[in-house]
Amino acid sequence: MRLRSGLKIGPGQGRGVIGRLAVLVVAGLLLSACSTFNLFAAKDEQPPDEPADKLYNQAVFLLNEERDFKGAAKKFEEVDRQHPYSEWARKALIMSAFAYYSAREYDDCVAAAKRYVSLHPGSQEAAYAQYLIGSSYFDQIPDVTRDQTRTERAMAALEEVTRKYPNSEYAPEARRKIEIGRDQLAAKEMEIGRVNQRKRNFIGAINRFKVVVTQYQTTRHVEEALLRLTECYMALGIVAEAQTAAAVLGHNFPDSPWYKDAYSLVKNGGFEPKEQEGHWLTKAFKKVGLG
């Protein structure tokens, strides 16, 4: 959806909110007389506040026509400053969050959106405000070689969308981004695990791969994690654990190329993949219905 100027709305599912709020009231732009300074006032007298609708529509104009997102955000904030607790201030607050997001000023977007959720938790736009918080963190997710704090924050904020507003138009996109975040966190665990494995710190590697197979089973990394567990256990001579890891991999992902490698590794050691009844790996996969 676009605003009247053709500005594309984002992120993702923001069409309904912005379309409802970004209504340009032409009369508000034309009636400037009520905001002019009193020419006969003392020089040190503060000018009177501008009407809320005029400020709001000036901000919409900056957003639509000028694509001055930061300028629009500041103007929306001016509505709240001059006319606190008004309906215009409520609308301006969510619009300022959107404008900051469009400007990629993510910290300011998060601050405005959090304030909106705090002040108006039951409003129609609260779900979108919460979605903006998660999307701001999501857009800053770094590569897997770096700290993943923002990934964790993104997932926590987006999970709030699915928990508090499960039927909102933003919930499906929030769920999609959560899955991407989960894959990112799994990739980070795999990276650390591989480093430990190369350094022959097999216990440290096993602990990382365990996290992947117990917490991130629906990600694309779980198959490799089971192979790496097989390799680490075989390197330590813990054959029964290696057999189980290979068997679980083969049972749940029989066509996986990772299983072929795990099977060959166990077979070359003179053994066969074999699950142990009641093993933590077997229980973990039965829990999510993969077994």
pLDDT of residue 289: 56
Q: Report which of 291, 287, 279, 164 is spatially closest to residue 215, judged by C-alpha positions.
A: 287
From 30-44, 79-93, 264-278, the region with the lowest mean pLDDT = 30-44
Strand, helix or coil for residue 8: strand
pLDDT-based confidence at residue 276 (cuts at 50, 70, 90) = confident
Q: pTM for this one? A: 0.82
Percent of the chain with pLDDT over 70: 82
**6 pLDDT more than 50:** no
Strand, helix or coil for residue 51: coil
How far apart, in Å, are the Cα atoms of 249 and each of 60, 218, 257? 56, 13, 10
pLDDT tens digits, one per residue of 117-161: 999 999 999 999 999 999 999 999 999 999 999 999 999 999 999
Cβ within 8 Å of residue 204, ≥6 positions away: 193, 196
**66 pLDDT more than 70:** yes
Q: Where are the domains of the chain?
A: 1-38+47-104, 185-291
Domain 185-291, second-level architecture: Alpha Horseshoe (1.25)
Q: If you average pLDDT over every residue of the chain, what do you get?
A: 88
Alpha-carbon gap, residue 276 to 240, rounded angstroms: 8
pLDDT of residue 120: 96
